[in-house]
Amino acid sequence: MIRKLALLFVLLPLLGQAYAQSDRDSSANSKTGSTSDTTAIAPTEDVITQPEFKGGIEKMYKYISDNFEYPDEAKKRSVNGKMEVEFTVEKSGDITYVGILKGLDYSIDDEVLRLLKAMPRWTPATKNGVPVRYRVSMPITIRASRNKNQKSSTALHDYMED
């Protein structure tokens, strides 16, 4: 019994590679319309552009800092720190599937979710010139202002593909 399980664990990775190979071959053949294995096609690189907040990253920083309302509950406790958020930029540029990957405080998390859901449309990501859905993960740093008249600030860092 143990020998059969060991053999299964050895064969599973090989089966995965065989499937991946046949999948790639069939997609290459479907591009050419050929069903024979004698036609070789040079692999081409996909050109992917990341989505962008209209006006660039600096405009996004401004949007967040201008619209972020530091919750009173968090203000009382001087909550500061880094959180991680994610969302999807749809083909239309709309923001959907907004979520918190690493929260900071429930009231701050709610405020950040509100801001992300209300963001204006982005310029969508493209793959070979065609708009595509794109999941974005980004860290956000929240800093409470020491000056009571000054608004609390948020700092966003570069976003990345997930």
Question: H or E segment at 11?
Answer: helix 2-32
The model's pLDDT over 68-92, given as tens digits with 9 standing for 90+, comes to 999 998 989 889 999 999 999 999 9
Domain that holds residue 34: 1-44
Q: Are residues 28 and 103 part of one domain?
A: no
Helix residue ranges per DSSP H, 39-85: 57-67, 72-76
Those residues whose C-beta lies under 8 Å from the C-beta of residue 121, and which sit 6 or more positions away, are 54, 92, 93, 94, 95
Determine how many CB atoms are found less than 10 A away from the CB of residue 41.
12
Verify that 2 and 69 share a domain, yes or no: no
Alpha helices (H) along 50-140: 57-67, 72-76, 106-118
Model pLDDT for residues 110-142, shown as the tens digit of each residue = 999 999 999 999 999 999 999 999 999 999 998
One domain, residues 65 and 32: no
Q: Which amino acid is at 117?
A: K
Domain end position, chosen among 44, 61, 76: 44
CATH assignment of the domain containing 67: 3.30.1150
- Helix, strand counts (H, E) of the chain: 4, 10
Buried b (16+ CB within 10 A) or exposed e, 72-101: eebeeeebeeebebbbbbbeebebeebebe
Based on the fold, state whether residues 70 and 144 are members of the same structural domain: yes
- Can you tell me the distance from the alpha carbon of 93 to that of 89, in angstroms, rounded to the nearest whole number? 6
Same domain, 38 and 53: no
Specify whether 93 is located in the same domain as 25.
no
Statement to judge: residues 107 and 154 lie in one domain? yes
pLDDT at 44: 75
Report the relative pairing of strands 134-143 and 153-156 from DSSP bridges: antiparallel
Of 5 and 80, the one with more pLDDT: 80
Of 27, 44, 61, the last residue of a domain is 44
Q: Are residues 34 and 54 in the same domain?
A: no
65 and 91 together in one domain: yes
Residue 28 burial class via C-beta count within 10 angstroms: exposed 0-12, middle 13-18, buried 19 and up: middle
Domain count for the chain, please give it.
2
Q: Rounded to an integer, what distance in angstroms lies between the CA atom of residue 68 and that of residue 61?
A: 11
pLDDT tens for 20-70 read 333 334 444 444 444 445 555 656 788 999 999 999 989 988 998 899 999
Cβ(112)–Cβ(152) below 8 Å:
no
Predicted confidence at residue 112, as pLDDT, reads 95
Together in a domain, 57 and 28: no
Residues 59 and 10 in one domain: no
